[in-house]
Amino acid sequence: MKRCLFVDDSSVIRKVAKRILGGSDLIVVEAASGVEAAEICASDMPDVIVIDGGLADIQAADLIRRLRAMESPIKPQILVSLVEVDVAAIMRAKRAGAQGYLLKPFNRAQLLESFRVLKIAA
């Protein structure tokens, strides 16, 4: 079963994502900060990670680099979630190891399409 880590300091965003993605074929785990996300990944690396581009405790690109540096048999697919199309932020995230981005607020169709592009069933 695939695991997804949704990292966002907004509990509403995390709950909406969990409701949309949670199901029989995907387990959604939540983290409210970059530090919490790193701890979760250190103990059990998920298959997909969605990282808020505006975390208070760490920049998304720095968190992505930290997660990519971890030793794990799983190499997760990573998306950065942004409130607007910020080409510089998207490029920083991609250079750090992200596969793409997601705009928020998102709806069911947008979130599921992002996961379909990653070829993750949701």
Distance (Å, rounded) from C-alpha 20 to C-alpha 87? 27
Lowest mean pLDDT across 8-17, 23-32, 49-58: 23-32
Residue carrying the six token digits 């592009």: 117
Give residue 1's pLDDT.
85
**pLDDT class of 3 with cuts at 50, 70, 90:** very high
pLDDT tens, position by position, 57-116: 999 999 999 999 999 999 999 999 999 999 999 999 999 999 999 999 999 999 988 888
Distance (Å, rounded) from C-alpha 79 to C-alpha 83? 13
Burial class (CB in 10 A: 0-12, 13-18, 19+), 59: middle
Distance (Å, rounded) from C-alpha 30 to C-alpha 12? 11
Burial class (CB in 10 A: 0-12, 13-18, 19+), 14: buried
